[in-house]
A = this chain, B = another copy of it.
């Protein structure tokens, strides 16, 4: 795997261990909760950095993986796994590399993590006096949800448990559920919440690239996403306008709102409050038991999940969600530089 990050200004000091740290959060095999594939996922920067600082030119990178077993996928050459992209790729291209899901493999997300980690460092250095911060966590596994409203939880709190839920008692119940599901050879989904804090008012665009529209596209490009909410989300659609509106008030830091149903974005532009998004992830499609499907000729057949997969993708989705949010914020931070004369 590898990629190219273009558009990073010159002069950003890149801390490589911090990039690797993010990759390690995504890596499989971190705990009993996730797949036992042993991807090492070591990032190497190939270009765009000189003497520790970005040069303004594209940053190329590769990520080496020590544990590929293509043979695990040999039985898939002529049949379609349910709720995977096998069939749709073939319908699109008429030709498909079936090994490990090919380009549809969730392994491609390693590149997103690297890019997001670079975006984070750039954002921090653009306004060192008030660095934006983005943190995600697992809010719900299946029907086990945190009892608290969304808030910013720092990485240390989030990573205190392998499920990455900052509420200890809920985390314990989530972990127990996942172990039970793993034993049954099945999978579960849930929800990740992400909060971006210290985002200055004014980022975004009124019509074509609304900040939340770009965030939506970015987050919906992650595998397994089924739902997205901004601020009050679907529960906000049950309120009356008089209750849902966020009154403006004077705050120490300037103008703000006393509630945040808007989720930090109004009319496609940040308003200085926390940006709050909730992403729903489906249960992973690869399960242990045999499933009925068809082959290329439409003949019914069975397919079994021989690969090494996750009973619950959520803890590993946390760094992905952060990465996608960071990338969008980085774009709009730079775009804001030419919003005014």
- List residues of A whose CB falls within 8 A of some B CB: 2, 4, 7, 9-12, 46-47, 50, 53-57, 60, 80, 82-85, 87-89, 91-97, 102-104, 108, 122, 125-126, 140, 142-143, 181, 186-191, 200-204, 206-208, 210, 212-221, 223, 225-234, 236-242, 244-250, 254-255, 257, 261-262, 265-272, 280-287, 289, 291-294, 298-300, 334, 336-341
Q: Are A242 and B103 in contact (CB under 8 A)?
A: no
Q: Are B221 and A210 in contact (CB under 8 A)?
A: yes
Contacts of A237 in B (CB 8 A): 140, 142, 189-191, 226-227, 280-283
Q: Are B104 and A267 in contact (CB under 8 A)?
A: yes
Chain B's nearest CB lies how many Å from the CB of A54? 8
Q: Are A280 and B85 in contact (CB under 8 A)?
A: no
Q: Are A88 and B242 in contact (CB under 8 A)?
A: no
Count of this chain's copies in the oligomeric assembly: 4
Interface of A is mostly: mixed
Q: Are A233 and B227 in contact (CB under 8 A)?
A: yes
Most buried by B among A223, A242, A245: A245
Q: Are A46 and B2 in contact (CB under 8 A)?
A: yes
Q: How far is the CA of A267 from the CA of B57 in the complex (A)?
A: 13
Q: Are B230 and A126 in contact (CB under 8 A)?
A: no
